[in-house]
Structure 1
């Protein structure tokens, strides 16, 4: 029987064995499996296949495929946050910029990558397609829509995504983008916006050697962020600048740490150590022993920061199981710190 599997069963009925031949149709390969097998972590390939899928299938099929694809990313052996960003960007266009509808697929997987991607180009599109001047673009409205649909935790991730969008619309001018982040309503939202801003700045450097950096000054733009109003912005800047240091250190741990130690204002040195650990943990991905070795190689003064950076990456980008495994391999106060930070991240998830 072509394209069928035969299952033969012997079933006892009233003491008499009866032979049943059951024809079972094989489960077809899902669209998500096909895309994943063809593209893996190639984002351009993935978006091309999703576009073709969307032309000939229902919204329900497209949504199911996107949801299954994110699950495949979570279980894969690569850092899935950037790929989920691209899924979010595709989704935003697919639903004709309907954030309420797009929010149905948004949750904490791949460190809320879909949510960040949804917001990444929102105000750029409003500026370019709708002709709204940059200074008049409402940066808060989108995240209020998301908050109404998914709650406050989702709103925080939404605001982070808006930070990505802001620095892009200001052509990677961190000063102008930071001023717009300050329009948000409270410290937590401003902080999340700043985080997205500096993550995008670093991402642009990593991918295209662009962004707001100065070849003659390793600590720019972080050392230009002055005043108490923006002290937390400088903290986040050095958190992501740590990856810039790693690039220039050819990913050598101790050389990157030496750049951290040279930060002009010493209060930002610990956050840089945390940033180095967070970025290298993503590179180690699920090889927990490498991450343990990294933190053991960190000066004792900054080992707690290494552990915090590592557990943030493991929890958000790898898996709950690997995160717990990492914490369990630590001793004493470091283990307590690790578990506390891990559990706080669990509590902050949405969806």
Structure 2
């Protein structure tokens, strides 16, 4: 009798438990504060390292400058210059504007080392036509309290052509882009060859001003350049005239949108024939050849074809000499004879061999 009662009691307990499970509200009360709203330690967004490789689809002058100046500030000029050289190899179109970017690195290095030319030059690199050295010298002269005194001292007792070229850029900064005043500073060297190297910097700065400097752009004599072909070269003193003609094609090519209109190079060669004397025509033709190579460094066969299509027979040799000149400046050696000329054929190859080594200081 006791056993059946025990079984019934157990069954009752079981059914009660099942009923309790079925009727109990098992939903947990959620806190009114969301987990997403709780204060959590969020790591800061990592800033891109100045030394991290950055390879945009296409560099511009300003983006490349900003990237490399940041690299220089974070490390040293040597690292920034090595990065610049790497980029010019991987993206040859950067050669169009790598020289002024190298100038900017020279400015930044002088600032980093509190005006010490010696410290800045510890990292000297000839990449992009020695633009780094030019930038150091032009910035130092621009900072000088007495430019007329310092202009002949900055490059030392035995100045190189490249250093003097930088002084020419600096003379334009000091004179606020007044060509005649800049020439007076270069005249202080006395030696005609040194004045000529200084003149190169003057006219490169005139025809290729900093795109981010509204003052420089405003002072560019655009109206006179449009009205008078090859202005202001015919009016220059003889010692400065050749450098003016050599760099004048920069302005012509830029205003004729050479990037999208490749025929502008042939048009520049014809434009050079408007110079009033043979020396002017030759310097302008050589300058055009230099620009052809600089703006198209990765396709030398095409470059040579532009020279071979020059409107006057005598221009072909001079144009090829311009190709050779810039090749050697860019690679800071005299390798055109062994590396450039073998890529060419026929008359272009022969003219290249005649012009080589043909190295110079003109970028």
Deviations 1:212-253 (A, max 9, x none): 45132223211111xxxx323111101111222333444423
Aligned to 2:328: 315
d(CA) in 1 for partners of 2:78, 2:187: 37
Partner of 2:176: 171
SS of structure 2 residue aligned to 1:179: helix
Between the aligned partners of 2:284 and 2:67, the Cα distance in structure 1 is 39
Matched, 1:293 2:322: no
2:254 corresponds to: 247
Summarize deviations over 1:76-99 as a string: whole Å, max 9, x none: 322132221111111111111111
Paired with 2:131 and 2:70, the residues of 1 have a C-alpha distance of 22
Q: How does 1:202-213 map to 2 (within 5 A)?
A: 202-204=207-209, 208=217, 210-213=219-222
Conserved in 2, the CA contact under 8 Å of 1:178 and 1:194? yes
Write the deviation string for residues 107-164 of structure 1: whole angstroms up to 9, x where unpaired: 32221111011112222222xxxxx365x452122111xx6xxxx5x73211110100
Q: Give the match for residue 271 of structure 1.
A: 283
Change (3 A) 1:87 1:271: same
Q: Secondary structure at the match of 2:209?
A: helix
| Matching residue of 1:12 | none
Deviation at 1:175, TM superposition (A): 1.3
State whether structure 2 residue 243 is matched by structure 1 residue 236: yes
Q: Which residue of 2 aligns with 1:88?
A: 106
Matched residues in 2 for 1:49 and 1:253: separation? Answer: 31
CA contact (8 A) 1:181 1:193 kept: yes
Gaps of 5+ in 1: 1-29, 127-131
Aligned match of 2:27: none
Structure 2: stretches of 5+ with no match in the other structure: 1-47, 259-263
Residue in structure 2 matched with residue 343 of structure 1 by the alignment: 357
**Distance (whole Å) between structure 1 residues aligned to residue 221 and residue 189 of structure 2:** 23
TM-score (norm 2): 0.71
Quote the offset at 1:195 in angstroms: 0.4
Structure with bigger gyration radius: 2
2:319 alignment partner in structure 1: 306
Inter-CA distance 203–180: structure 2 relative to 1 (3 Å threshold): same
Structure 1 residue 64: Cα displacement = 4.3
